[in-house]
Amino acid sequence: MDTSRYVEEVEEVRRGLGLDDFVLYGHSWGGMLAIDYALTHQQHLRGLVISNMAASMRAFEMRTAALRRQLLTPADLSTMLALEAAGRYDDPEYQRILTLLYSKMLCRTVPWPESFTRSLRHANLAIYTQMFGPNEFVVTGNQKDWDRWGELHRIKVKTLTIGAQWDEMDPEDMKKMAALMPNARAVICPTGSHLCMWDDQAFYFEHLLEFLRSL
């Protein structure tokens, strides 16, 4: 996936606001964009936060495949895989299993925060499908081949990677990313998931604020 257009849109905003020596925060797909921005324009950054995003889509696919083997019963896993093979993503049984998984790996807060459910209601699914795929377990979109593992060493700016125990991004990948960057460290939220700023909130913000103060 070529993110150059999106990177330059961020740069246009930076120039328009007259920002320099600023901190860039990116969560999930925003973490992809933050990585690519830093690889292109890190001279403008004081710090970088990569929240809940691994350095390749392949790493993400491996993690979600492992998570559903761990979290589902053998019957549900078999059903889900069969429905995927048939392309029946809207099948009520598929949606039931998907919702169960999302409650464990996207956001473990019960009920989900209103801001999260509101964002889902207003999501542009056509763009999501084009860029990503039909859901978080089937990656068929134009970002499928995105991979920056081999370039992370070029990010010299002070960086924090944030992951979580139940995140759809492997916490070991978040640690590996920090190890590959010369001025980075990783924080793993012990009880959170992909939205650990909600379901492991105190831990998440304690360490995020500590990093920001260190800059």
| Residue-wise pLDDT tens digits, 14-26 | 999 999 999 999 9
Q: What is the mean pLDDT of residues 161-185?
A: 98
Q: For residue 7, how many other CB atoms are within 10 A of its CB? A: 19
CATH architecture of the domain with residue range 4-58+145-214: 3-Layer(aba) Sandwich (3.40)
Q: How confident is the model at residue 1 (pLDDT cuts 50, 70, 90)?
A: low
Joined tokens for residue 53: 């995003």
pTM: 0.95
Catalytic residues: 28, 167, 194
Do the beta carbons of residue 146 and residue 1 sit within 8 Å? Answer: yes
Q: How confident is the model at residue 2 (pLDDT cuts 50, 70, 90)?
A: confident
Q: What is the mean pLDDT of residues 92-121?
A: 96
Quick check: 94 pLDDT over 80?
yes
- The sign of the CA dihedral 30, 33, 39, 40 is negative
Whole-angstrom distance, CA of residue 93 vs CA of residue 117: 21
Domain edges within the chain: 4-58+145-214, 61-131
pLDDT score recorded for residue 207: 98
pLDDT score recorded for residue 206: 98
Q: What is the mean pLDDT of residues 128-132?
A: 94
Note the pLDDT tens digit of each residue in 37-92: 999 999 999 999 999 999 999 999 999 999 999 999 999 999 999 999 999 999 99
pLDDT score recorded for residue 69: 97
Q: How confident is the model at residue 3 (pLDDT cuts 50, 70, 90)?
A: confident
pLDDT score recorded for residue 27: 98
pLDDT score recorded for residue 135: 95
Quick check: 156 pLDDT over 80?
yes
Place of tokens 């070991």: 172
Place of tokens 């053998």: 74
Q: Mean pLDDT, the chain, as a whole number? A: 96
Whole-angstrom distance, CA of residue 177 vs CA of residue 50: 10
